[in-house]
Structure 1
Amino acid sequence: MKVILQRSREASVRIDTEIVGQIDHGLVALVGVGQGDDAEISRALADKTANLRIFADENGKMNRNVSESGGGVLVISQFTLLADCRRGRRPSFTNAAPPAIANELYELYADHLEEHGIPVARGVFAADMQVSLVNDGPVTIILDSAEILA
């Protein structure tokens, strides 16, 4: 499982012209679920997301997590994070989990963030979405279950 976190001042996701998810400030989490990922991995990455100290404290140091900063998380499914570009010019997505499993673990990730008391907005799984955000910093963190749980 891979999660790209982008600290943002504001973010939203649209389908056609309708906003389906929006946060003021916090994190945008792009979530890719891979072959072999499971509920334990999804929960572990949600816990890591909830507890990362990447928001400024009163001294300007990255010392607060998203909850302590009063922020939310906009969670977007993105199977393309599992792209294998080693050969040829067209990415292979065989490393991505089947849609039913990916959707279940994506939803579990978002649900677990909510269990931490964090406001969560979501995209729509497998939909063609337009994501807008204003990066803050910019701060971008890559979480990879192969590295975090190793």
Structure 2
Amino acid sequence: MDLLLWRHAEAVDGSPDHARELTERGQRQAQKVAAWLDQRRPKKLRVLVSPTVRTRQTATAFSDSFEVVPTLGPDGNVADLLAATGWPDSGTACLVVGHQPALGRMAALLLSGVEADWTIKKGALWWFSNRVRDGETQTVLRAVIPSDLV
């Protein structure tokens, strides 16, 4: 299974939190990462998005076809991510457009086996794969793409 974690791009400050829109810089960040991903995307890719405006705007830079999942909102956690994506057993690649701290904690869990407060930069994409080698399940970090390096 491929699991892609994409933190929403830069958004304006303010409230209500769920209505915050991307800044012009955030729109450029989302477009850059979306263009990179479009050239490399898994053939069958399920796109799951938090219900906030900024995550939906980030996802729209890549695709208009996505599923809004309420549990992936700013208050979501690793258990919510695991339940929504079906990691590691789902047969379909999954892209999650979401928030800190859940995305960073998920990345930490996948790479170290323990949830920790890791930070995923705004607009960045982390791509993981799961495989079995010699009877052992392994998580592979395929890419980390910060928006300022694409």
Same-fold status (TM-score > 0.5): no
Output the TM-score relative to the length of structure 1: 0.39
Pick 1 or 2: higher relative contact order, CA cutoff 8 A, min separation 6. Answer: 1
Output the TM-score relative to the length of structure 2: 0.39
